[in-house]
Amino acid sequence: MSKIKASKGAPYARIVGVGGYRPIRVVPNEVILETIDSSDEWIRSRSGIQTRHWANDEETVAAMSVEASGKAIADAGISAEQIGAVIVSTVSHFKQTPAVATEIADKLGTNKAAAFDISAGCAGFGYGLTLAKGMIVEGSAEYVLVIGVERLSDLTDLEDRATAFLFGDGAGAVVVGPSQEPHIGPTVWGSEGDKSETIKQTVPWTDYREGTVEKFPAITQEGQAVFRWAVFEMAKVAQQALDAAGITAAELDVFIPHQANERIIDSMVKTLKLPETVTVARDVRTTGNTSAASIPLAMERLLATGEAKSGDTALVIGFGAGLVYAATVVTLP
């Protein structure tokens, strides 16, 4: 018989605060057109993107994360010392070690919070949210800070007509805390590594270091293959998340998909047969694809503009490089 005492965590967890940070510089499509043969009309019709934000030298992954996290902590009505763990999802922090989460935890003034990074691409926020929920229910932390942050402008090939217009920078953060009722549903997540070549870094860092290639590594993708996968397969995953939470599409208030492409968003809305009463996040229009940051940034904007309100039931789903995905139903803070 085990002598280990059972953990004393909360019965459930919920998102209690949200914050976001978008870099100062706003980049319209006209800037992108300086390096690719395309048009503003083509970019908008293919992606819905009108502008995106690009970080300056001071707006580092850590700096943007601290700004977004400070807002989330204030929104949650707690102090940084109460944060027991910091989870950062990013693919654009260029130091292999230490994890940028440790720097963020220190700059926020946490009391030696556990801190680590995860690499799950555009599904990273969902992965982090699931880990945070487990920590709180298990009892290893009372409050967990989950951050999605990217400087994808550093990994964009401005001469690649297929991707040059897609990516933006920014940070989104949520505080997850204890709850007496279920406010984060079961996560439907997974990976399809046989499709990993559809979204990838062009070459390993070592190729650039050794001079095998002249161009700095960038993110590339097979647009049509990704589009088909996202539209058909991710709609199924979204429905599975609704089923797991025990609700129907008609009971949803808000839909916050990864902000990859507005055509994908429209197709998912149609496939899921979401009623017109459901508010759909379309932050992609002015923020672009910010990978792990896209869901919390979209969530923060919907709440700030009043398009969504506290207590609304939202379906969130992220999907991308790996290929990986994660979907769940949450109550908005």
Q: What is the CA radius of gyration of the chain?
A: 19
Catalytic: 183?
Answer: no
Q: Residue 329: which H helix or E strand, with range?
A: strand 324-331
CA distances from 14 to 38, 76, 81, 111 (A): 44, 11, 19, 22
d(CA 73, CA 168): 24
H helices within the chain, ranges in order?
A: 29-32, 40-47, 61-76, 100-108, 124-138, 205-209, 223-228, 234-245, 262-272, 284-287, 294-305
CA distances from 290 to 4, 111, 259, 282 (A): 43, 30, 7, 13
DSSP states along 38-64:
--HHHHHHHH---EEEE--TT--HHHH
First to last CA, the chain: 41
User: 29, 93, 258, 261: which is the annotated catalytic residue?
Assistant: 258
User: 53, 122, 183, 261: which is the annotated catalytic residue?
Assistant: 122
Catalytic: 122?
Answer: yes
Bridging pattern class, strands 254-257 and 313-320: parallel
CA 253, 312, 257, 12 dihedral sign is negative
State residue 297 phi and psi, 5-degree precision: -65, -45
Catalytic: 53?
Answer: no
Q: Which residues are catalytic?
A: 122, 258, 289
